[in-house]
């Protein structure tokens, strides 16, 4: 649970493994985690009880649709092969 972040690679790695995310709403994390869709987006100054309550939802984390959504976000936004191709296409058009 960070107090500040950019776009954490650890979250990208978890998403690539179909793992739903629990994270505070700091930095660019709100672009990565849609609360209740691919994880839980906690308040930016989350307390221990908020973290515990999020982790109690074990059925949520085992739900295949939620796990798939986490992976879909990874493929859409953070997959290196896709992003490299898009980047190369963009710079070669300049």
Domain count, the chain: 1
Domain assignment present for 88: yes
User: Which domain CATH number covers 69?
Assistant: 3.40.50.2000
DSSP states of 79-90: -HHHHHHHHHHH
Average pLDDT, the chain: 91
Domain assignment of residue 4, yes or no: no
| Cα–Cα dist 41/29, whole Å | 8
Structural domain containing residue 49:
9-92
CA–CA separation, 63 vs 20, rounded Å?
Answer: 9
pTM equals: 0.81
Tens digits of residue pLDDT in 26-44: 999 999 999 999 999 999 9
> What is the pLDDT averaged over residues 61-69?
95
């Amino acid at each position: 649970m960070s107090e500040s972040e950019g776009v954490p690679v650890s979250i990208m790695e978890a998403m690539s493994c179909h793992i739903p995310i629990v994270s505070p709403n700091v930095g660019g994390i709100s672009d990565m985690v849609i609360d209740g869709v691919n994880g839980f987006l906690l308040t930016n100054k989350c307390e221990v009880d908020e973290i515990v309550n999020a982790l109690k939802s074990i059925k949520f984390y085992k739900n295949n649709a939620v796990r798939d959504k986490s992976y879909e976000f990874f493929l859409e936004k953070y997959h290196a092969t896709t992003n490299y191709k898009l980047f190369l296409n963009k710079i070669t058009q300049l």
